[in-house]
Structure 1
Amino acid sequence: MQNFPDILRHWRKQRRYSQLDLALEANISSRHLSFLETGRSKPSREMVQQLSDALSVPLDARNRMLTSAGYAPKYPKREWDDAEMLPIRKAIDWTLNQHAPYPGLALDRLWVIRRMNEPAKRMFGTFGVTEGSSMLDLIQDPTLQDLIENWPEVAHHSALRLRSESAAQGGIPELDAAADILSSDATPSEPNLPAIPTVFKLGEQTLSLFGTIAQFGTTADEAIEDLKIELFFPADDAAEDLLKQLAVVH
């Protein structure tokens, strides 16, 4: 297990703070911070909380900071099927169901699909994707890549998103590895649209979609903090008409 000084230095460098920057942000002296980073001083539980707030440390890392300093972890990580998660599951299901006939899904921190609405099941089911499947595997699948008309653009923006999410969490090897693979195909796009769509090739037709991402705002559980709801919208009238037609057929 890492010790507290190492974890503190990691997060300070991850956030690109100097010792002085962090000391000012956390409202402590730079001398005190230096002693904490060298192990000359042991932090109180309140100081661990104060520093993790200043560094915007995610909940799982806050627990590691606490345990490395000799304190009990503060934030639970409930299982998806726990009774206390029922309101969360209901909120996700309601959001996804209301989004039909447009596709929507819920992802965890490793891009594993936790929930899909019916349009998403139809759309991604072609590739054998179901709840519990990994979107990281899907976006690295050559079969899917061949069906995306603007794959180099999509690869570029997907790699940027993966790296951004990894950095926010202090580094997630699975996301970084996927970003490295996608970067080999990536081509930055010209910013001629307000949002870069993903253009799927469906026989003689195309389906152009862009996405939005929602998260829970006030979280006190590792599992909830990680969840993202991704909702896809038609980027043009043709895509909207096609999604509505598919909903009627099914």
Structure 2
Amino acid sequence: MDQNFGTVLKEWRQIRRMSQLDLASEAGVSARHLSFLETGRSQASRGMALRLSEVLQMPLSESNRLLTAGGLAPAYGQRAAADAELAPLETAMRWTLDNHAPYPAMALDRHWVLVALNKPAQIFLGPMGLGQGDSLIEAMLDRADLRAAIENIEEVDYQLLCRLRVELAHLGKDPVLSDLVARLSARVEGYVPPAQSPVIMATRYRMGDMVLSLFSTISQFGGVGEIAYADIKIEQLFPADAATREILVAMAGG
């Protein structure tokens, strides 16, 4: 169903739990004008629509929805993968992944689908039956063999849930992530996190008679006006101990 500008604006104001006065103040407009925008008594200019979307920290796709609801052209593109303008982003992503060797690194979309992997990640995830196009989070939830291979699976489930909640809060709404949050919430019911979190929250994977202890860092593209790449997360895995480092180096042929 089509929605007008005021409906979309109010929806996101409520998602961010902001009053009209709060939003008006941060956007530098009067509360009266904002009220008129929500009720349709005033029409937003392109600059005003973009300013409000920035204050509300709306994802690029939702900023486009706000603009088009107001009869304005979308500001952010969603180009085909072969578009020449995307080449620098693709190069940056591949460079980041490849230069993380001999440690695994992967690119994930907003739903944790594997977009790209470096060679060590392919070596690491391949025996688990995971590769480009597969959902890492679905595998973590549904694959009994994978869950059995993670020695601290309850702790990992809880950390994943915390991370998903943060991602969902940023996006405002997403049916796929909402479903994942609900499923993970059911799994961690009754789990009591430690009183003090460890310095490194590592995931311990058992591979045969070896145990790999890994933690990760996550990075995203900044200053990108392209919807597909704005949602991509690059996850780089690091060894949490010397034994894991030696195993990863050996696996990568280093």
Calculate the TM-score normalised by the size of structure 1.
Answer: 0.95
The structure 2 residue matched to 1:161, chosen from 154, 160, 163, is 163
What's the CA shift string for 1:23-65, capped at 9, x where partnerless?
A: 1000111111111112222212121111112111111111100
Distance in 2 between the 1:81 and 1:207 partners? 37
The structure 2 residue matched to 1:195, chosen from 193, 200, 203, is 200
Aligned-pair CA distance for 1:150: 0.6
What's the CA shift string for 1:186-205, capped at 9, x where partnerless?
A: 23532342231111012222
1:96 and 2:97 aligned: yes
Distance in 2 between the 1:124 and 1:166 partners? 26
What's the CA shift string for 1:57-115, capped at 9, x where partnerless?
A: 11111110000001111111122333222211111111111111111000111211111
Unaligned segments of structure 1, at least 5 residues:
none
Answer yes or no: is the 8 Å Cα contact 2:21–2:31 preserved in 1: yes
Aligned-CA RMSD value: 1.5
Say which SS state the counterpart of residue 89 (structure 1) adopts.
Answer: helix
- Please name the residue that 2:116 is paired with: 115
1:81 and 2:69 aligned: no
Q: Could you tell me which amino acid in structure 2 is paired with residue 87 of structure 1?
A: P
1:229 and 2:234 aligned: yes
- Please name the residue that 2:180 is paired with: 178
Distance in 2 between the 1:94 and 1:47 partners? 37
Aligned-pair CA distance for 1:174: 0.6
The structure 2 residue matched to 1:215, chosen from 214, 220, 223, is 220
Say which SS state the counterpart of residue 129 (structure 2) adopts.
Answer: coil
- Please name the residue that 1:149 is paired with: 151
Aligned-pair CA distance for 1:183: 1.9
Say which SS state the counterpart of residue 220 (structure 1) adopts.
Answer: coil
Aligned-pair CA distance for 1:22: 0.5
- Please name the residue that 1:124 is paired with: 125
1:33 and 2:34 aligned: yes
Q: Could you tell me which amino acid in structure 2 is paired with residue 193 of structure 1?
A: P
Answer yes or no: is the 8 Å Cα contact 1:206–1:239 preserved in 2: yes
Distance in 1 between the 2:6 and 2:211 partners? 53
Answer yes or no: is the 8 Å Cα contact 1:152–1:188 preserved in 2: no
Answer yes or no: is the 8 Å Cα contact 1:166–1:172 preserved in 2: yes
Worse-superposed segment, 179-188 or 233-242: 179-188
Distance in 2 between the 1:234 and 1:7 partners? 45
Distance in 2 between the 1:80 and 1:156 partners? 35
Answer yes or no: is the 8 Å Cα contact 1:153–1:188 preserved in 2: no
The 1:3–1:142 alpha-carbon spacing in structure 2 relative to 1, beyond 3 Å, is farther
- Please name the residue that 1:72 is paired with: 73
The 1:60–1:202 alpha-carbon spacing in structure 2 relative to 1, beyond 3 Å, is same
Q: Could you tell me which amino acid in structure 2 is paired with residue 126 of structure 1?
A: P
Answer yes or no: is the 8 Å Cα contact 1:121–1:130 preserved in 2: yes
Q: Could you tell me which amino acid in structure 2 is paired with residue 162 of structure 1?
A: L
Q: Could you tell me which amino acid in structure 1 is paired with residue 173 of structure 2?
A: G
Q: How many residues align?
A: 249
Aligned-pair CA distance for 1:6: 1.5
Calculate the TM-score normalised by the size of structure 2.
Answer: 0.93
